[in-house]
Amino acid sequence: MPADALLALEPRKTPVQARSAVTVQSISEATIQVLLSQGAERLTTTRVAERAGVSVGTLYQYYPNKRSLLFAVLENHLNKVAARVEAVCESARHKPLAGMIQEMAEAFVDAKMERADISVALYRISTGLGGPLLVKQVGQRLRRAVEAMLGTATDAKSPPDKFAVEIMLSAMGGAMRSLLEAGSNPSPATVRKAREQLVLLCQSYMAAATAKRV
């Protein structure tokens, strides 16, 4: 993996004037709008700029290329989801294992579902160099938050297993992706059931994985 792979994805400059902050924000939002309304294939920098009400040139003053724009939007979304789960992990410490897991899993499902459309749209662009890497990084961050939480479980038999936590998180992610990509707009009933089942999946797996460690 080239060391400078992510270099070209860095935003180009930090706005110093007030008005440009607005511009950057509007470009970011326009990207999602276009992604949702036209699809990933029809997302062009020109269209994004148009939607944002600025010229292409302006877009390129803040993002060195198209990929960096998509990358920034993806990063932003993943960070939001991660932050939310981390917050829950923080507040769910010092409880029994099952309760912790439940809160964490539900937070994950809710975060993804809240902006289901964005989630689906971003699956389309999470491919390609940089995407998986970013997903991995955020995954690690989430794992650490979960591990820290699990370490405070009032009924833990043994410290949590790093690999197992990763498996659990990616399994949840995969199930959610499958659900979201299957058809647009799952019914509330489906969502409720999914949440319930994912909680069960995580709880039973964590219980089994922890027990095994004895």
Partner DNA sequence: CATGAATGAGGTTTCATTCAT
Partner DNA sequence: TATGAATGAAACCTCATTCAT
* 61 vs 76 by CB, closer to DNA: 61
Give the binding-site size for DNA (rule: CB under 7 A): 26
The verdict on 201 binding a copy of itself (CB under 8 A) reads yes
**Which among 63, 183, 43 is positioned nearest to 125, based on CA atoms?**
43
Enumerate residues 41-60 that contact DNA by CB under 7 A: 41-46, 53-58, 60
Partner interacting with residue 65 (select from DNA, a copy of itself, none; CB below 5-8 Å by kind): DNA
* Near a copy of itself by CB under 8 A: residue from 132, 154, 155, 158: 132
Q: Scan for tokens 């036209």, then name that residue.
A: 38
- CB under 7 A: which stretch of 14-22, 71-79, 90-98, 161-169 binds DNA? 14-22
DSSP letters for the chain: --TTTTGGGS-S----SHHHHHHHHHHHHHHHHHHHHH-STT--HHHHHHHHTS-HHHHHHH-SSHHHHHHHHHHHHHHHHHHHHHHHHHHT-SS-HHHHHHHHHHHHHHHHHHTHHHHHHHHTTS-STTHHHHHHHHHHHHHHHHHHHHTT-TT-SSPPPHHHHHHHHHHHHHHHHHHHHHSSS--HHHHHHHHHHHHHHHHHHHHHHHHHT-
Contacts of a copy of itself in 145-164 (CB under 8 A)? 163-164
Residue 16 binding DNA, by CB under 7 A: yes
Nearest distance in Å: CB 137, a copy of itself: 10
- Residue among 28, 128, 33 at smallest CA distance from 80: 28
**61 contributes a contact to DNA by CB under 7 A:** yes
The CA distance from 12 to 137, in Å, is: 22
Q: How far is the CB of 42 from DNA (least distance, A)?
A: 6
Minimum Å gap between C-beta 30 and DNA is 12
Please select the residue that binds a copy of itself; options are 41, 94, 187, 188, rule is CB under 8 A. Answer: 41
Distance of closest approach, residue 23 Cβ to DNA, in angstroms: 4
Q: Using CB under 8 A as the criterion, which residues of the chain lie in contact with a copy of itself when the complex forms?
A: 1, 39-41, 123-124, 127-129, 132, 135-136, 139, 163-164, 166-168, 170-179, 181-183, 193-194, 197-198, 200-201, 203-205, 207-209, 212
